[in-house]
A and B are shown apart, each in its own frame.
Chain A
Amino acid sequence: QVQLVESGGDLVKPGGSLRLSCAASGFSFSDYYMSWVRQAPGKGLEWVSYISESGRPIYYADSVKGRFTISRDNAKDSLYLEMNNLRAEDSAIYYCARGGSWVDYWGQGTLVTVSS
């Protein structure tokens, strides 16, 4: 069965950096677009970034453009999100998601908290 397991969430100070990882299993990872979607506590969903099967094209929401970098390693069935210059408004649960238009499978999420 399809599984997406995120890791790397933590408490970080404003201006700090963090790298999220997502380990995929149960499907042919290299055949799918992958995305990161986030949800602030008690709030709605925001699409953050997607990456195509090959690594290009890539999309970023305006709110993270220039600060976040999405990447993937198809040999390791893994998706990553490098987050720099973090702000309080980046605090959220970050979900790894399969798909680049609609998402048919989601992970359980990893919590990122940006606070001094």
Chain B
Amino acid sequence: AIQLTQSPSSLSASVGDRVTITCRASQGIGSNLAWYQQKPGKGPNLLIYDASSLKSGVPSRFSGSGSGTDFTLTISSLQPEDVATYFCQQFNSYPLTFGPGTKVDIK
């Protein structure tokens, strides 16, 4: 199975800061990566698919990049409502796997 690692595991940033989360795959997965946001007590929400395609309705401050083994999720200007845990997920091969998550909060 393809393993996904995320860094950092948690971060604290100020409102308006640029935030970057990294996801690394144990082998190349092309652009077959999605990013999700999960708020406490809720199911996850899709933000990005195909590594860089923004889901309709997701604020444009979210962006994704990368291919192969290294990927990033960027929040260009952190907002209070972005406090959540962020997961990456590969869909290049089965079993589909998720990263362990990055918890983001406000400083």
User: Which residues does A use to contact B, with CB under 8 Å?
Assistant: 44-47, 59, 61-62, 95, 101-109
Contact = CB atoms under 8 A, between A and B. Distances in A.
A45 B43 contact: no
Contacts of A107: 43
B94 A59 contact: yes
B43 A109 contact: yes
A46 B98 contact: yes
Summarize A's interface: helix, strand, loop or mixed: loop
A107 B98 CA distance: 18
Counting chain A CB atoms within 10 Å of each CB, which of B34, B36, B43, B46 scores highest?
B43
Contacts of B98: 44-47
Interface string B75-100: 00000000000010101001111111
Contacts of A61: 95
B43 A106 contact: yes
B55 A45 contact: no
Interface residues of B, number: 21
A105 B49 CA distance: 13
A108 B44 CA distance: 9
A106 B44 contact: yes
A95 B43 CA distance: 7
A43 to B, nearest CB: 9
B45 interface: yes
Instruction: List 8 A-B pairs, minimum CB-CB distance, nearest first.
Output: A106-B43, A101-B91, A102-B34, A45-B98, A47-B96, A102-B49, A104-B46, A44-B100
Nearest to A108: B43
Contacts of A104: 46, 49, 55
A44 B46 contact: no
A44 B101 contact: yes
B87 A44 contact: yes
B91 to A, nearest CB: 4
Nearest to B55: A104
A47 B55 CA distance: 21
Contacts of A101: 32, 91, 96
